[in-house]
């Protein structure tokens, strides 16, 4: 029986970074993957394919060719799914190669098969041809999640599907209902709308992306409506089914019945109301670890489950369930497991959020609503891209950046941005916040010109001028 210092279950971002970290510490590591490909949701069904699809949609439709060169020059008028898929596949293949070569270079042993615990230190790997039992001193569970698929929804891959199957669509539909205005539903609604699909987005709460600063959310929702996306907010879907329609040539449509009595019909429906863990098949009862009703694990600040030598990281431990945070959790879990406890500069309240909608949205720190609720006095400094030379050059009329500044200390409490490059721009604010910087930092420092980073300076002036009543 082979023995390892550490066994890692899953090759998504949490498993990958955990495995490489363990190898860098000189440990003997095995990583187990049940899929036929590496990379988990990040590479195969989630982050990378959805972002590749977004880039392809923006490029092929010419949406990101604005500014001095006119509004939208259509690069390709007849976009096929094959056009879109070829871009995604190319990126995905490259990512597989990168992971594989990282494992090889660092002597991480890759075992293909489904892992299941047999006892607290033994795992059986159900491989494609045979099974093998292996043992280790430490374990990292990084098995991720899958889309929620309630039994009463008649999923059929072709017209009623989740975010896993949307990538396999063989044609671009004319119309789509998107159920769920969380990150997945909103990002795909934007991508599809950019491609000319008529989208109706249904969200149970009274606004999309409920964690965003209200002002940014309002600007985003206004923009979506301008782009003819129909928003049905505060509406819950009660029943979804296929119906035969007789007008013209008989054809089948998807029908969503809302609790309010409205009936929506479209060629396709994307169901994106959250994700579900996959711990049920891991044999955790043999180890003495329990999971919650969505099959997620509870861990302490060091990513240990209730059993000391079994760690868990990534989506399987729930919020914030991002590729970015999963990587870091995996790395930190392994560092702790092998006594390398360097937890300096790990401020979870400064995690950034990047939403790859069209346009991009990003935030770090607190929202206006949170600060008000907590009784923290602040002023908002705002810069619109249209007042910044770079904003005019790229023709982004909507973009804005908002700094939330403490009224007395002038510390930066939050940064909220929407528009071109928002997910990159946010890191300037994040760094300044992490180093305890104040609004004056942006005024006293020179930035490249013309850049979108100038927004920080303009927003700082705007906020401080309001505070100084000038
Ligand atoms: C559509 C979509 C878009 C997203 N976009 C973004 C984004 O833009 N930015 C961002 O930061 N995050 C994004 N995410 C979230 C991100 O993909 C996840 O947070 C991340 O992939 C979680 O990593 P993980 O390592 O926990 O799990 P996963 O990536 O889910 O990987 C888990 C792996 O474990 C394997 N596994 C499961 N059970 C077993 C078993 N018993 N034995 C062996 N192997 C097993 C699975 O096959 C899988 O390969 C997106 C997600 C989706 C669905
Ligand atoms: N850019 C990114 O970072 C990114 C992109 C995509 C996904 N992700 C991650 O993937 C995970 C899953 O995302 P998600 O969007 O599936 O889940 P989610 O939980 O974020 O959102 C689901 C939404 O569906 C709504 N909803 C639930 N039932 C409904 C019903 N019957 N009718 C109408 N609305 C209903 C909820 O109110 C909620 O807003 C999240 O953790 C997210 O962070 C991140």
Q: Which of 218, 201, 222 is nearest to 210 (CA)?
A: 218
Class of residue 451 by CB neighbours under 10 A (exposed 0-12, middle 13-18, buried 19+): middle
Confidence of residue 373 (pLDDT cuts 50, 70, 90): very high
In this structure, are 372 and 334 located in the same domain?
no
189 with 229, same domain? yes
Contact 242, 383 (CB under 8 A): no
Residues 6+ apart with CB under 8 A from 165: 155, 157
Backbone angles phi, psi at 290, to 5 degrees: -105, 155
Number of residues assigned to the chain: 470
Helix, strand, or coil (residue 24): helix
Q: How is residue 187 written in tokens?
A: 């990002």
Q: Which two tokens stand for residue 125?
A: 């790997």
Q: Are 212 and 257 found together in one domain?
A: yes
Pick the ligand that lies closest to the CA of residue 149.
2
Tokens found for residue 41: 């949701």
Measure 249 CA to ligand 2 centroid, in angstroms.
36
Nearby residues of 22 by Cβ (< 8 Å), 6 or more positions away = 5, 6, 8, 29, 108, 334, 337, 338
Q: Is the CB of 183 under 6 A from ligand 2?
A: yes
- φ/ψ of 427, rounded to 5, equals -70, -20
Domain count, the chain: 3
pLDDT of residue 344: 63
Strands across the sheet with 378-384, in order?
A: 353-355, 361-365, 412-418, 400-406, 378-384
pLDDT for res 84: 81
Q: Is 183 labelled a binding residue?
A: yes
For residue 434, being part of any structural domain is answered with yes
Q: Which of 273, 297, 326 is the last residue of a domain?
A: 273
Strands (E), 89-223: 109-112, 114-119, 122-126, 131-141, 145-147, 160-161, 175-179, 198-203
pLDDT tens, position by position, 448-469: 999 999 999 999 999 999 999 9
- The whole-angstrom separation of Cα 172 and Cα 266 is 13
Q: Residue 205 and residue 424: Cα distance in Å, rounded? A: 28
* Same domain flag for 181 and 228: yes
Residue 138's DSSP bridge partners are 6
Among the bound ligands, the one closest to the CA of 13: 1
**Judgement on whether residues 175 and 259 belong to the same structural domain of the protein:** yes
State whether the beta carbon of 209 lies less than 6 angstroms from ligand 1.
no
Domain limit, last residue, from 248, 273, 298: 273
Helix (H) / strand (E) element for 83: namely: helix 81-105
246 in a domain, yes or no?
A: yes
203 annotated to bind ligand: yes
Instruction: Collapse the DSSP code of 56 into the 3-class scheme (helix H, G, I; strand E, B; otherwise coil) and give the result.
Output: helix
Q: At what angle do helices 454-467 and 422-434 cross, to 10 degrees?
A: 60
**81-126 pLDDT, tens per residue?**
777 877 888 889 999 999 999 999 999 999 999 999 999 999 999 9
Q: Looking at the domain assignment, is residue 414 inside a domain?
A: yes
250-283 confidence digits (pLDDT tens): 899 999 999 999 999 999 999 999 999 999 999 9
Token representation of residue 368: 């206006």
**Residue 20, in any domain of the structure:** yes
Radius of gyration of the chain (CA): 24
What residues contact residue 299 under an 8 Å CB cut-off, 6+ apart?
Answer: 305, 311, 312, 313, 317
The mean pLDDT value for 200-219 works out to: 97
* Model confidence, pTM: 0.95
Task: Return d(Cα 377, Cα 370) in angstroms, integer.
Answer: 11
Give the pair of three-digit tokens for residue 167. 């990538």
Q: What is the CATH number of the domain that holds 372?
A: 3.30.390.30
pLDDT, residue 305, reads 98
Tell me whether residue 151 is in a domain: no
Q: Which structural domain, as residue segments, surrounds residue 364?
A: 359-467
DSSP track, 127-144: -SS-EEEEEEEEEEE---
Q: Is the CB of 41 under 6 A from ligand 2?
A: no
Q: Tell me, what's the pLDDT at 413?
A: 98
For residue 153, being part of any structural domain is answered with no
Residues 336 and 368 in one domain: no
Cβ of 317 less than 6 Å from ligand 1? no
Query: Can you tell me the distance from the alpha carbon of 393 to that of 439, in angstroms, rounded to the nearest whole number?
Result: 26
Q: Does residue 354 lie within any of the structural domains?
A: no
Say which CATH number the domain at 31 has.
3.50.50.60
- Is 226 in the same domain as 187? yes
* Within a domain: 37: yes
The CA 355 to ligand 2 mean position distance, Å, reads 12
Residues 301 and 264 placed together within one structural domain of the fold: no
**Does one domain contain both 26 and 138?**
yes
Domain ends where: 291, 321, 348?
A: 348
> 170: pLDDT confidence band, cut at 50, 70 and 90?
confident
- ipTM computed for the complex: 0.96
Predicted confidence at residue 204, as pLDDT, reads 97
DSSP state of 284: G
Judged against a pLDDT cut of 70, whether residue 55 lies above it is answered with: yes
pLDDT tens, position by position, 428-438: 999 999 999 99
Does 300 lie in the same domain as 176? Answer: no
- In the reported structure, the alpha carbon of residue 202 is separated from the centroid of ligand 2 by a whole-number distance in angstroms of 12
Same domain, 23 and 110: yes
Place of tokens 């995604």: 88
For residue 32 and ligand 1, the question of a CB distance below 6 A is answered with yes
Q: In angstroms, what is the span from residue 78 Cα to ligand 2's centroid? A: 31
Residues 304 and 409 in one domain: no
């Amino acid at each position: 029986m082979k023995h390892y210092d550490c066994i890692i279950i899953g090759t998504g971002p949490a498993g990958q970074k955990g495995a490489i970290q363990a190898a860098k510490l000189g440990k003997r590591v095995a990583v187990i993957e049940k899929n036929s490909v590496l990379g988990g949701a990040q590479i195969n069904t989630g982050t990378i394919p959805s972002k590749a699809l977004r880039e392809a949609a923006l490029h092929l439709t010419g949406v990101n060719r604005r500014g001095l060169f006119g509004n939208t020059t259509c690069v390709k008028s007849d976009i096929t799914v094959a056009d879109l898929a070829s871009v995604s596949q190319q990126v995905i293949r490259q990512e597989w190669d990168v992971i594989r070569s990282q494992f090889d270079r660092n002597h991480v042993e890759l075992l293909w098969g489904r892992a299941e615990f047999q006892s607290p230190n033994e795992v059986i790997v159900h491989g494609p041809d045979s099974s093998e039992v292996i043992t280790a001193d430490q374990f990292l569970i990084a098995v991720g999640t899958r889309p929620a698929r309630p039994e009463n929804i008649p999923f059929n891959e072709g017209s009623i599907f989740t975010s896993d199957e949307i990538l396999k669509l063989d044609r671009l539909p004319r119309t789509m209902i998107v159920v769920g205005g969380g990150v997945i539903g909103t990002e795909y609604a934007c991508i599809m709308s950019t491609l000319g699909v008529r989208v109706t987005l249904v969200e149970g709460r009274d606004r999309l992306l409920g964690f965003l600063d209200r002002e940014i959310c309002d600007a985003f929702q206004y923009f979506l409506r301008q782009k003819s996306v129909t928003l049905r907010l505060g509406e819950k879907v009660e029943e979804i089914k296929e119906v035969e329609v007789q007008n013209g040539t008989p054809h089948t449509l998807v029908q969503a019945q809302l609790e309010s009595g409205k009936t929506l019909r479209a060629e396709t429906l994307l169901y994106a109301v959250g994700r579900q863990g996959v711990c049920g098949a891991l044999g955790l009862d043999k180890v003495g670890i329990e999971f919650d009703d969505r099959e997620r694990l509870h861990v302490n600040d060091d990513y240990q489950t209730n059993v000391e030598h079994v760690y868990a990281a990534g989506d399987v431990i729930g919020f914030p369930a991002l590729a970015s945070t999963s990587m870091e959790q995996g790395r930190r879990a392994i560092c702790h497991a092998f006594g390398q406890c360097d937890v300096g500069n790990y401020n979870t309240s400064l995690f950034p959020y990047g939403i790859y909608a069209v346009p991009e949205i990003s935030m770090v720190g607190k929202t206006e609503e949170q600060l008000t609720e907590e009784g923290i006095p602040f002023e908002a400094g705002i810069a619109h891209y249209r007042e910044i030379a770079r904003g005019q050059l790229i023709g982004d009329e909507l973009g804005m950046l908002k700094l939330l500044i403490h009224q007395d200390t002038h510390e930066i409490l939050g940064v909220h941005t929407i528009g071109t490059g928002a997910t990159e721009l946010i890191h300037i604010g994040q760094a300044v916040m992490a180093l305890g910087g104040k609004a004056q930092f942006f005024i006293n420092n020179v930035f490249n010109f013309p850049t979108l980073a100038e927004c920080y300076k303009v927003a700082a002036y705007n906020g401080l001028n309001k505070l100084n009543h000038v």
